[in-house]
Amino acid sequence: MSRSIAALLAQADLPGSDTPTLDAELLLAHVLQKPRSYLFTWPDRELSDAALEQFLALLARRRNGEPVAYLLGAQGFWTLDLQVSPDTLIPRPDTERLVEVALELGPQQPARVLDLGTGTGAIALALASERRQWQLTGCDRMSGAVALAEQNRIRLKLVNAAFLQSDWFAALGDSKYDLIVSNPPYIAADDPHLAQGDVRFEPASALVSGVDGLDDIRHIVDTAPRHLQSAGWLLLEHGWQQAEQVRQLLEQRGFQAAQSWLDLGGHQRISGGQWHG
């Protein structure tokens, strides 16, 4: 039996979602290959059997907790529309703060910038889009992530970015950079939130980092000075309760001007320091 857009949206049942109406609208617009505004302009349009089946299947997957971004295969970040996949972490709005701080502290002249654990390429591509005089390198140890980031780069036509497979700094040789940024894994292995919500479907390797969540940050802080030009900055996203520990790690390694920046919720989410080697 045919169903109209209005009827389908009214009956969409997504009890586990914080934004059930928005989720249903995004999924239906995706099935119809139309903007969301189309749903309200043509509420009486009836779906074909194939479209109805596809929409109901997506609703069922969302009801099971699968992230909308994975269902759509896309996520907005900064001013960019990025392709996403289960190989990568879904870019979050809080990470845009890392981009802002990098733009504030990075040099105005041509510079080499490294994005560690690039995932979708979100940070590297956002910086490349804003600073055409910078040369961005994004690396990730997962081949699927590197391939996806490169697809995003090609689609966005950003020629000042490149991606390679590397376990943190392992494949970078003696390369040096004017700025290093990273949104590394920073969740403790026993954090109960790992069994809740969207993160259940995201790669654990992009989320978990040891008993206290700081193993990867420790490695980055310890190794980064060998890859930083003098006066270069290292900027890290971390958990909302980890800022003091990250600043201490930076100071103990010899970074200067160690400080933290607030995210959209008022939490200290980004920390960084300047290297004078």
Cα 25 to Cα 2, 58, 63, 69, distances in angstroms = 18, 12, 14, 13
pLDDT tens-digit series, residues 192-216: 666 667 667 666 666 666 778 799 9
Percentage, residues of the chain above pLDDT 70: 92
Which residues does 84 contact at the CB level (< 8 Å), separation at least 6? 69, 70, 73, 74, 75, 90, 91, 120, 148
User: Bridge partners of 262?
Assistant: 268
Percentage, residues of the chain above pLDDT 90: 70
Within the chain, all domains assigned CATH 1.10.8.10 are found at 5-64
pLDDT tens-digit series, residues 212-245: 879 999 999 999 999 999 999 999 999 989 999 9
Rg (CA), the chain: 21
Q: Select 76-275's CATH number: 3.40.50.300, 2.40.50.100, 3.40.50.150, 3.40.1280.10.
A: 3.40.50.150
Neighbours of 4 (CB within 10 A): 14
Q: Select 5-64's CATH number: 1.10.8.10, 3.40.190.150, 1.20.1530.20, 3.30.930.10.
A: 1.10.8.10
- As a whole number of angstroms, the distance between CA 36 and CA 33 comes to 9
Within the chain, all domains assigned CATH 3.40.50.150 are found at 76-275
Predicted pLDDT of residue 166 = 97
> What does the mean pLDDT of the chain come to?
91
CB-based burial of residue 174 (10 Å sphere; 0-12 exposed, 13-18 middle, 19+ buried)?
exposed
CB-based burial of residue 63 (10 Å sphere; 0-12 exposed, 13-18 middle, 19+ buried)?
middle
Predicted pLDDT of residue 2 = 59
Predicted pLDDT of residue 205 = 66
What is the pLDDT averaged over residues 139-156? 96
